[in-house]
Amino acid sequence: MSSISAQSSRVTSVSYSFVLQWTLKGKELKDLSEEGSDTSLIRSDLYHLKTAKDLRFYLEIGKSIFSHYETSIKGTKMWSFKVPYIFLMSKGRAFSLKSTNKLSFLTSFEKSSTSDEDDVEIYCAVYACSAHPAPSAKEDDLSLMEGQNTVDLEGTPDISLPDKYTNENVVDFILRGDIPDFNTNLAIDIIRESKEHKCEALKILCVEYLMKNITARSLSEILRVAIDYDLPLLERACTKKIVNGHFETEVISIFFQNVN
């Protein structure tokens, strides 16, 4: 004789992940770091997930005593929020706005990194998880500031990838915002596949990683990809290493044999 017992189940938490991008002018960020400036913070649009009426949040970039910029996230108290990384891109370079292990190779953004009229693209990932706040928990102020808009987020983003494209590191970055565990070979492969995946942000991150990881062993391969894919910043970084005498004569000789 056999018996079947039924057990009840319930959902204890719900979570979402978002990959966000918004554009600023260089002057907006530069004004934050100016002494005596009236600008104390920059706020993103207010994001609202259509399928979860109470899920709303925005990001802030403000002044900090310990660094040039400080980032934070504000949202409805029924959700807890985390920003695992936030970086920006300007003029083909990527800069860090928040220190994180996987993007430790990025240089911190300085006001000299861009001009007033340059477009600055802010990239970040946001994780939201349903929470059970204490009754005394206060709601963040989500009223709109002047110039701030409400952006409705769809449950499933409309993202298309090339047919049969299988590089999981690229797919995970595009779909979920996961930063790859970079190494030299992976960065070079992603650059070589850039015409397929067309993810400029990830390509620039790869270039930044390679510029900080030029070694005697990787020099010739990194310079080759810089030349083949028209990456002048990376090419100059390789040349600078040679000119500044970072490598032995034997290494340089082998290098020129490999690139010719």
Q: Which helix (DSSP H) or strand (DSSP E) does residue 44 occupy?
A: none
Domain 15-153: CATH architecture, name and number where available:
Sandwich (2.60)
Each domain of the chain, given as residue ranges in start order, spans 15-153, 168-258
For residue 34, pLDDT beyond 50: yes
**Please, are residues 72 and 64 in contact by the beta-carbon 8 Å criterion?**
no
**Please, are residues 64 and 150 in contact by the beta-carbon 8 Å criterion?**
no
Cα within 13 Å of Cα(123), Cβ side: 21
CA dihedral sign of residues 81, 86, 155, 55 = positive
pLDDT category at 164 given cuts 50, 70, 90 is confident
Burial class (CB in 10 A: 0-12, 13-18, 19+), 109: buried
Q: Can you identify the CATH homologous superfamily of domain 168-258?
A: Potassium Channel Kv1.1; Chain A (3.30.710.10)
Give residue-wise pLDDT tens across range 81-95: 999 999 999 999 999
The distance between the two most distant Cα atoms of the chain, rounded to a whole number of Å, is 83
d(CA 231, CA 174): 22
Give residue-wise pLDDT tens across range 193-223: 998 888 999 999 999 999 999 998 899 899 9
Give residue-wise pLDDT tens across range 109-151: 888 888 999 999 999 999 999 988 878 888 888 999 888 999 9
The token pair that represents 54 in the structure block? 């109470």
d(CA 209, CA 198): 18
**Please, are residues 29 and 42 in contact by the beta-carbon 8 Å criterion?**
yes
Specify the amino acid at residue 41. Answer: L
Q: DSSP letter at 62? A: E
